[in-house]
Structure 1
Amino acid sequence: MRTRTTKRSELWPDPGDGFRTDIEGLRGISVLLVVLFHLEISVFSGGFVGVDVFFVISGYLLTSLFFKEIERKEFVNIFAFFSRRIRRLLPASVLTVFGTVLIGWLALSPFALEELIKDAFTASTYSMNFRLVHQATDYLGSQSSPSIFQHYWSLAVEEQFYLIWPFVFAGFAKLKISREQIGILMVILIAISFGFSVIQTEQNEIWAFFMLPTRAWEMALGALIACYKDQILLLNEKLIEILGFIGLASILIPCVLYDDFTLYPSWRAAFPVIGTALIICCAGSTISKILSFKVLTSIGKYSYGWYLWHWPLICLAKRYYFQQNDLFVSSIASIIAFFVAVISYKVIEKPIRELKVFSTRPKKGVAIGILLTGLSVLVLLIAFYTRPISTIQLSSSQNENSVSEVSSNNSSEEISEPPIASEDLTSSVSVPDTLNDHSQDDQEIENPTNATPVPDIMNVYLPGHQERLAEGAQLQVLPDYVGLGGPNPKIYGDGQGCHVGVVGRTSPLCEYGDTGASRTMVLFGDSHAASWFPLFDQFSREKGWRLLSRTKSSCFVEDLRFPLYGTDLEYTKCADWKNWVVNELKENPVDLVVVVTKRKDVEILRDQFSVEEWQSGLVSTLNSFRSVSPEVVLIGATPLLNNHARECVTSYPNNLDFCHGKFEDVVPSDYQAIEIQSADDAQVKYLPTIDLVCTDTICPVVVGNNVVYRDRQHLTKDFVLELKNLISIRLLNAGINLD
């Protein structure tokens, strides 16, 4: 007589003895969620939970295989395990890395290709999660274009899990520990890892998101199912039906409810993780039958390859066509990725999996894997050192000459301002006829004591600058004399961490300018404020000010709750850091605070916060500084281009029109109004910047001798120094006399 338990056990074979189509379909669901999330479809804003589904499945399958091996052989063959993993995972992974690098070699600019190859190293060695955590502490990595191999972080976590788990079970086998005892150990591991995840997400959410210790509980829960499979088979069928629906809902609902404000993983990961575990336990249920539909199992069959290929092709398509959020381009790329995954599976992965050497001679299989990984690294090293190098200089030739002339007198980081804008007009009382004659490189205009600034001096000087903007907007071919705008500001690489990464909650004591001066100014904001650092450092040295650099990666100056750039995690450390800066200045008052804001993505401005909320948040921050300084200046946001300027000009040097930003596309009609009204409400000075980087119709990527932006949004150092006189005059006319 067939019992209920016997019937269900037939539907729940051990891995290796049979195949559960519902788990294959669950794989299909999980990869679909991840792909839809990467397509930036708003209804799937929490699709990143698909990775958690993968983790639970891996923990269950891996542990089940170990139990099966222990029951049959009473030991775990470590080499056989690694040989199986190598034949299952390595071919597709290596193929994706090499294929992506090859496409990047043909399609990307030299600068983008360099970063691609660097990321390929960590992808090939399954250490991408470490690289992403490191980049998150360095703004230059965290807010540049997303890594084409960033999705390899989940593979890295799994591989690190694989390096530990077989040895753990080999020890269990040697000590003859029962399933039930192992289950108790799994419960302890789940409790420790889950608790650590909750705590660490609050303390260091980036680390918690990407690292194994905070994700181990998800795999351990899958292992726990394998430990108590026999007991689970005894559950009532009606209960199994209910649990199946609860499980699927626990996966799908977070996909809709979770978004950029979700602090993750923390306890919130419990819903998709437990939901996956419930579905695994519900073999033979209605949900199990739904997941066994052919369309889902087919997607699940190729899920590994699709997961590997979809993100690189989406990123490459966006960069090649310079489309940041084009759903059509991304969708086509993801569809192509699926077919590439199918071909890869049939032509490469499956034939390699069927090679007998991996099963009959596992040590040789492991050696093949090590050799293949080593060859991959070697090929990538060769690719890195033979990659195309841009012929465009970092700084224009004129600026490089300036460096050599002043290097004996200034720090190595400083580059004297370009000759085209070298006159110091900060305190002029009259405007000579030669003001717009750029040939007068070294002319210094005398300044009587207590002079009063001429109100319309900007109207005399600004037209000359706007003429150069117009000339840049008309450029079609990149001139040979143009440089890429110089190196990044020295606060990024000074060894002191003066530009605080996303993890930091405080700033070190970073003093610049005339450190012994009696007057102190503070430069405050995110990386956009850091972009202005070279200019205010120069002001401070020349005018006798002590400059405190207080900048932090991706930290909006507005007093609002928002996610960390490029993640789905609330950026709590930004709020903590801003509070710390204000409290620091309360204890040590200063004479001037320069606040630099940045333009918000239109979708953020429209969808996440209202205009009134942005304005209120900005006013709140400005008011907090008014309480600690007699003078506060708000420097307006510069435009957010559609294209990465340096990548674009090096990719399309003969078609700069493609790189320039159209004013109507990159300058929201109301954002400058928000800045003006906020400054007025807070009773602080306001310095607009739009007319310094744009004409009425175009925001050119090249002006004078330099590229204007180093990416989509940060001004280059050399261009900022070109704005010295214009900013000086605006400060003066606002009533801020630095002399």
Structure 2
Amino acid sequence: MVSAPADPAHLAPARPAGPERPAPSPAVGEPSHASPPDRPRSRFRGDIEGIRAVAVVMVMLFHAGVPALSGGFAGVDVFFVISGYLITTQLLSEQDRTGRVALIDFYARRAKRLLPAVNVVLLTTAVFVFLMVPRGRWSQIGGDIVAAVAYLLNWRLAERFTHPDPTMPPSPVQHFWSLAVEEQYYLIWPLLILLAVTLAKVSGARLKPALATALGLLAAGSLAWSVATTVGAQSPAFFQTTSRIWEFAVGAGVAMSVGAWARLPKPVAVVLGWAGLAAVLVTCLFFTPMMDFPGYTAALPVLGTAAVIAAGCATARGGVETLLGISPLRWIGALSYSLYLWHWPMLAIAATYWGPLSTSTGLLVIALSIAPAWLTFHFVENRIRYSRRVSQSPRLALGIGAGFSALGALAGVALLLAG
């Protein structure tokens, strides 16, 4: 378990989730009409959008200091499972359609989807740190921003938490650690899929067993590492990629076996989905920041999320999608990435400038974060993501991502030098 250093307010430990949204909606890939039956079908998944909303609300209310939601930090695990499922679905769908995995195209999609919004938030945060945070903290925060731009912040925080300083307030960009974990996973998993595809072609072996073997070894090693290193209330394992990969692997495993889940008897699918959602909510209500985490304890939210996604493959009437697919949750789910990016810097900077925040004030700040999140979603994320010109040119997408990253890095360096 990791508790954030003593914060300037009652702000809960900075354990934010990273709601990576690899698709504009939770449509589960775009397989060809001749896709094998064990591949996800192309349809809108309102339950995935809804469970994403549950996760981001868990995280935000936890950070606002709502006492009843002491396990809201586990929203990060929900997002990791969702990301593992969606990314694997996209990659396998591409392999079905084309017989290959185009890494450049994959990373170009990630760049145009993630980097503009991330660096707009980092640049804006740097400005408000300059205006509202004492100068003595500029250097450290500037370094954190640079690490966030490079998607290495999780390792910087893991080192910091090896010998934590209880007097140090949490960084306003501390929540970017989970995005770093996701991006590092995205460097590993597509390469393993590409390797499995290549080996299957060369040897004549079937792709699915080779990929399942690679996934199983990756998950087992990561889970063993997570259990072994998650010890004590200030464990740096909370931030380490090696202790989190198994959570993505669980989502990837659901994607690889979606045909089997789709054949579940309808009553079983209904029970499985509701039980999965209940597991996530139990985590939110009864877990506490004093528990060793992630380790084996993370299995409850991880398997609960996997159960929701797996049950949704069977699309049973009366299933959990009845709740998760309602319009308000789908709206929050669509906005979850931007909400995640904005809510924590606003809370952390407000607490530094005005002093300890009451729960009601924290909730007010959360509500105010909806405005910049909505603006970022519509005028940064969607404008670039849905641009026909950008979509047709991976080189342009990568260039735009690099340009925004340069702005974020310059903002961090400026704070670092000024401090």
* Coarse TM-score class (shorter-chain normalised): 0.7 to 0.9
2:154 counterpart of 1:154: no
Q: Check the 8 A contact 2:144/2:412 in 1, yes or no.
A: no
Deviations 1:244-284 (A, max 9, x none): 11101111101111113211111110000000000001112
What is the alpha-carbon distance in structure 2 between the residues aligned to residue 133 and residue 249 of structure 1? 31
What is the alpha-carbon distance in structure 1 between the residues aligned to residue 154 and residue 190 of structure 2? 21
- Report what 2:7 is aligned to: none
- Report what 2:381 is aligned to: 349
> 2:307 pairs with 254, 275, 278, which one?
278
What is the alpha-carbon distance in structure 1 between the residues aligned to residue 217 and residue 412 of structure 2? 42
- Report what 2:245 is aligned to: 216
Instruction: Please tell me the residue identity of whatever aligns with 1:292.
Output: G
> 2:367 pairs with 335, 350, 353, which one?
335
CA shift, 1:13, in A, is 6.2
Deviations 1:465-492 (A, max 9, x none): xxxxxxxxxxxxxxxxxxxxxxxxxxxx
Q: Check the 8 A contact 1:243/1:278 in 2, yes or no.
A: yes
Q: How does 1:492-571 map to 2 (within 5 A)?
A: none
- Report what 1:311 is aligned to: 344
What is the alpha-carbon distance in structure 2 between the residues aligned to residue 365 and residue 194 of structure 1? 35
CA shift, 1:383, in A, is 4.2
Instruction: Please tell me the residue identity of whatever aligns with 2:173.
Output: F
Partner SS, residue 28 of structure 2: coil
What is the alpha-carbon distance in structure 2 between the residues aligned to residue 83 and residue 64 of structure 1? 17
> 1:301 pairs with 315, 330, 334, which one?
334
- Report what 2:59 is aligned to: 34
2:28 counterpart of 1:14: yes
Deviations 1:554-611 (A, max 9, x none): xxxxxxxxxxxxxxxxxxxxxxxxxxxxxxxxxxxxxxxxxxxxxxxxxxxxxxxxxx
CA shift, 1:78, in A, is 0.7
Give the fraction of aligned pairs with identical amino acids, expressed as a percent: 33
2:394 counterpart of 1:362: yes
CA shift, 1:87, in A, is 1.1
Q: How does 1:659-670 map to 2 (within 5 A)?
A: none
Shift in alpha-carbon separation, 1:204–1:327, aligned structure 2, 3 A: closer
Which of the two has higher C-alpha Rg? 1
Instruction: Please tell me the residue identity of whatever aligns with 1:129.
Output: N
What is the alpha-carbon distance in structure 1 between the residues aligned to residue 286 and residue 408 of structure 2? 40
Instruction: Please tell me the residue identity of whatever aligns with 1:381.
Output: V
Deviations 1:158-201 (A, max 9, x none): 01111112211111222234224422432332222212211111
> 1:199 pairs with 223, 228, 235, which one?
228
Of 370-379 and 83-92, deviating more is: 370-379
CA shift, 1:116, in A, is 2.5
CA shift, 1:202, in A, is 2.8
2:120 counterpart of 1:95: yes
What is the alpha-carbon distance in structure 1 between the residues aligned to residue 169 and residue 233 of structure 2? 22
Q: Tell me, which stretches of 5 or more residues in structure 2 are unaligned?
A: 1-25, 31-41, 201-205
Q: Check the 8 A contact 2:233/2:291 in 1, yes or no.
A: no
Q: Tell me, which stretches of 5 or more residues in structure 1 are unaligned?
A: 1-11, 390-739
TM normalised by structure 1 equals 0.49
What is the alpha-carbon distance in structure 2 between the residues aligned to residue 345 and residue 371 of structure 1? 19
Of 266-275 and 363-372, deviating more is: 363-372
Q: How does 1:69-218 map to 2 (within 5 A)?
A: 69-140=94-165, 143-176=167-200, 177-202=206-231, 206-218=235-247
Instruction: Please tell me the residue identity of whatever aligns with 1:265.
Output: P
Q: Check the 8 A contact 1:183/1:228 in 2, yes or no.
A: no
Q: Check the 8 A contact 2:161/2:234 in 1, yes or no.
A: no
Q: Check the 8 A contact 1:30/1:54 in 2, yes or no.
A: yes
Q: Check the 8 A contact 2:143/2:413 in 1, yes or no.
A: no
* CA RMSD between the two structures: 1.9
- Report what 2:13 is aligned to: none
TM normalised by structure 2 equals 0.85
Shift in alpha-carbon separation, 1:217–1:247, aligned structure 2, 3 A: same
Shift in alpha-carbon separation, 1:139–1:23, aligned structure 2, 3 A: closer
Greater RCO (Cα-Cα under 8 Å, separation 6 or more)? 2
Q: Check the 8 A contact 1:101/1:117 in 2, yes or no.
A: yes
Instruction: Please tell me the residue identity of whatever aligns with 2:259.
Output: D
- Report what 1:442 is aligned to: none
Instruction: Please tell me the residue identity of whatever aligns with 1:280.
Output: I
Relative to total residues, which structure has the larger strand share, 1 or 2? 1
Q: Check the 8 A contact 1:314/1:329 in 2, yes or no.
A: no
